Amino acid sequence: MAKNKNKGQPRNYTLESGVARFGKSKTYHKKAVYKFLKKKTPKQASGLKPAFIEKKIDGAKNGGTRMVRVRKLANNYPTQDTPVEKGIKQYFAKHVRRVRPTITPGVVAIILAGVHKGKRVVILKQLPTGLILVTGPFSINGCPVRRINQRFLIATSTKIDISSVKVPEKLNDDYFRRIKAGKKQAKKEGDIFDATKKEYKPSEERKTDQKALDKDVLQAIAKHPEGKALKAYLRHNFALTKGQYPHKMTF
């Protein structure tokens, strides 16, 4: 099919004096509008059903016919829009959990915040929520197996081979989630100023899991070429002295 060279260009144009090159009569014949003036295209029946139907009505003064709606309108309308129930969408569960490339299983990291800040711990794995599962071990520096956000960890260049360590599958986010107490019970007379808080105590199950996990981690530390020095390294807390700057240090 040959391309139209004059596509997009006007049939008429103005001269330098502002006068059109072709007059109205010439432009009329160039466009050939006269060919389509008496030509009528037949109307195509639309597939839509009519909204009104003509019905006959008795009575001399009623006009004989009347247009009636096919679908009657509602007599009453609600004053407020009915709320649409939307299902709960778990957007947080669909997030992609990105972890720094330096945080890998077996790497020794430094905790920066919390009760155990300054302690060196061993990274075990990443949980589905993005939190990092770490352990002291507890028998060395008193840090139990716990989950912590990666923003509060500094990964060091020291790494332990923990391929032989078996981390139980039950050590997930539900395992560490504490059960909240129910609604506050009505205080009895005399207990109005009782503000004592119940201290958290680990269950026997957690103590058993901690001992079993520490046993495997300690065996992995013993296999390290510098096992004795590594134990002392994990035992001592990280601290900065005068003149030391963390942004200039290589961990």
- State the CATH number of the domain containing residue 125: 2.30.30.30
**Two tokens, residue 251:** 């961990």
| pLDDT reported for residue 193 | 60
| Residue 119 covered by a domain | yes
| Residue 18 covered by a domain | no
Q: Taking the model in full, what pTM does it have?
A: 0.59
231 lies in which domain range?
Answer: 93-177+203-237
| pLDDT reported for residue 216 | 93
**Two tokens, residue 182:** 């129910």
CA separation for the pair 216, 211 (Å, rounded): 9
| Residue 154 covered by a domain | yes
Residue type, 16: E
| Residue 171 covered by a domain | yes
Running DSSP on this structure, what letter comes out for residue 104? -
CA separation for the pair 245, 200 (Å, rounded): 37
Distance, first Cα to last Cα, the chain: 72
| pLDDT reported for residue 195 | 60
What residue ranges of the chain have pLDDT lower than 70?
1-7, 180-196
| pLDDT reported for residue 182 | 55
| Residue 87 covered by a domain | no
Over its C-alpha atoms, the chain yields an Rg (Å, rounded) of 41
